[in-house]
Amino acid sequence: MPTLSSQITEIELKIKSLLSENTRLKAQMSDKEQRVYELEKENNALVNSFKESEDRNVALKTANAMLGSDEYKTKTKLKINALIREIDQCIAQLT
């Protein structure tokens, strides 16, 4: 049967071990939180870059259509007609 002194020593060792493990886990968690923050920043930058690329793509398609590309001629004509109708409505409201 272990003595009270040896039991206390065992408990102290276990407590030290647990405290050490707790410190290690806190440091690991801090590292993981930092990594998550960095990844969120990178993700936001990529999302913004993607949106800018989409906007540029739309602008290029529109420019291509204005230059007379057969692929976008119909679409461009429809947009122009819609804008003309909108201008006509504005003129009608002003008069």
Contacts of 76 (CB under 8 A, 6+ apart): 62, 65, 66
For the whole prediction, is pTM greater than 0.85? no
Stretch 64-70: mean pLDDT:
70
Residue 92 identity: A
Q: Given this model, what pLDDT does residue 39 score? A: 98
Residue 15 lies in a domain: yes
Please give the tally of structural domains in the chain. Answer: 1
Give the up-direction half-sphere exposure of residue 58: CA atoms within 13 A in the CB hemisphere: 5
Tokens 């960095």 sit on residue: 38
Q: Would 59 be classed as within a structural domain?
A: yes
Instruction: For 2-35, write each residue's pLDDT tens digit.
Output: 788 899 999 999 999 999 999 999 999 999 999 9
pLDDT at 67: 73
Kind and range of the H or E run holding 46: helix 4-66
Give residue 38's pLDDT: 98
Count of residues in the chain = 95
Q: How confident is the model at residue 79 (pLDDT cuts 50, 70, 90)?
A: confident
Q: Which domain holds residue 40?
A: 4-69
* Within-domain flag for 76: no
The pLDDT of residue 69 is 64
